[in-house]
């Protein structure tokens, strides 16, 4: 029996969730190929992984066809002979502030990019996982408290957000179809709002901006209505869920990963101020376009089928995020995207 380590490919691996996934896979004994084009990812997120001989980074755009066997830096991975065991497809722009600028890129990533990744999975008979999103369910519904995986959702396919929301639905269709046509073991993870270290600043993601402002003693600007509610899950819980899903038996279907605890965003802001001991005040600001009022996940399937549930308490997750931003404040407030 071969003693070669399994090889995992992670697209979007220099992003917020993707970089933590790369580290977890390395810790689990995988060799990891990380692909990112730095549209919203950052090389800082993978600085630690780059020192690991089992990690290789490729800067490329997945919307253009590529051949993994054509990269000299991957010769040591022996892909031609060993193939790719697992593919985690996380690459999709998630920048709220830059949503308009990235619309076309987002559209292609959720269609052409998905096709290119699935074709690689077909070539190597890889298990392949899609990091989908809770946006496939549409916005929060008054008559539905929790979204289960069998809820089909209501999404406006012509909305200004459709390149992402409907794009994720189409990506799920592509995964399902490739699974049926080519016999691939495909997995679909529907990820709800996630927070933690390495979230980009000044990008419309309120929590890291709240933390930075509280550290600086500035006002926390809440860019949503006062009664806006959300659920947030810590990044390490999502990563463990993705790895459990990849290891699950074929045919499990889509699985939700998120927190089923509903919170007022204003209350999260208050908690951040309290944890930091800041004198900051909470002020209302202009509402952010493209920010969706999302529902809560029904996570009973993940609990029953994967023995997974969120384990990081909000207080602890916020503290870790605060410590990261405090330690890296000077770097993070520089140019976030350009390398």
**What tokens appear for 140 in the block?**
């929060």
Instruction: Evaluate the CA torsion angle 101, 103, 108, 114 in order and state its sign.
Output: positive
Residues 280 and 326 sit within 8 Å (Cβ to Cβ):
no
Going by their DSSP bridges, the two strands 263-264 and 229-230 should be labelled as antiparallel
Nearest to 85 by CA among 144, 29, 161: 29
Q: Token pair of 228, please? A: 């806006």
Gap between the Cα atoms of 79 and 67, Å rounded: 11
Q: CA 45, CA 23: separation in Å to the nearest integer?
A: 10
What is the per-residue DSSP string for 246-300? Answer: HHSPTT---EEES----EEHHHHHHHHHHHHT----EEE-PPPTT-----EE--H
Structure tokens at 71: 């990269």
**Alpha carbons 301 and 252: distance in angstroms, whole number:** 10
**Cβ(290)–Cβ(161) under 8 Å?**
yes
**Is 151 one of the annotated active-site residues of the chain?**
no
* Interstrand relation of 186-191 and 296-297 (parallel, antiparallel or unpaired): unpaired
Which of 8, 103, 89 lies closest to 49 in space, CA to CA?
Answer: 8
Tell me which of 88, 124, 164, 195 is the catalytic residue.
164
Question: Which residues form the catalytic set?
Answer: 164
């Amino acid at each position: 029996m071969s003693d070669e380590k399994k090889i995992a490919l992670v697209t979007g691996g220099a992003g917020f969730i993707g970089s933590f996934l790369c580290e977890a896979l390395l810790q689990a004994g995988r060799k990891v190929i990380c692909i990112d084009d730095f549209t919203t990812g950052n090389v800082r997120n993978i600085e630690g992984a780059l020192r690991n001989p089992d990690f290789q980074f490729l800067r490329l755009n997945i919307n253009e066809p590529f051949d993994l066997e054509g990269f000299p830096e991957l010769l040591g991975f022996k892909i031609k002979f060993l193939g790719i065991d697992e593919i985690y497809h996380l690459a999709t722009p998630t920048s709220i502030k830059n949503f308009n600028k990235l619309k076309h890129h987002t559209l292609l990533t959720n269609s052409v990019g998905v096709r290119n990744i699935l074709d690689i999975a077909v070539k190597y008979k890889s298990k392949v996982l899609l990091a989908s999103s809770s946006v496939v369910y549409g916005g929060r519904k008054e008559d539905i408290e929790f979204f289960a995986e069998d809820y089909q959702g209501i999404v406006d396919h012509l909305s200004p957000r459709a390149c992402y929301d409907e794009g994720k639905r189409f990506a799920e269709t592509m995964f399902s179809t490739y699974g049926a046509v080519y016999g691939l073991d495909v997995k679909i993870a529907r990820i709800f709002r996630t927070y933690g270290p390495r979230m980009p600043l000044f990008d419309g993601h309120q929590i890291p901006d709240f933390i930075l402002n509280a550290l600086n003693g500035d006002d926390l600007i809440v860019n949503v209505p006062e009664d806006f509610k959300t659920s947030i899950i810590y990044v390490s819980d999502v990563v463990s869920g993705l790895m459990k899903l990849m290891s699950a038996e074929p045919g499990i279907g889509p699985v939700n990963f998120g927190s089923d605890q509903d919170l007022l965003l204003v209350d999260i802001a208050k908690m951040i101020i309290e944890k930091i001991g800041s004198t900051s005040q909470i002020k209302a600001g202009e509402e952010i376009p493209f920010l969706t009022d999302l529902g809560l996940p029904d996570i009973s399937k993940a609990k029953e089928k994967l023995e997974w549930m969120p384990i990081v308490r909000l207080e602890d997750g916020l503290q870790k995020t605060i410590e990261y931003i405090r330690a890296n404040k000077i770097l993070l407030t520089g140019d976030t995207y350009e390398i």
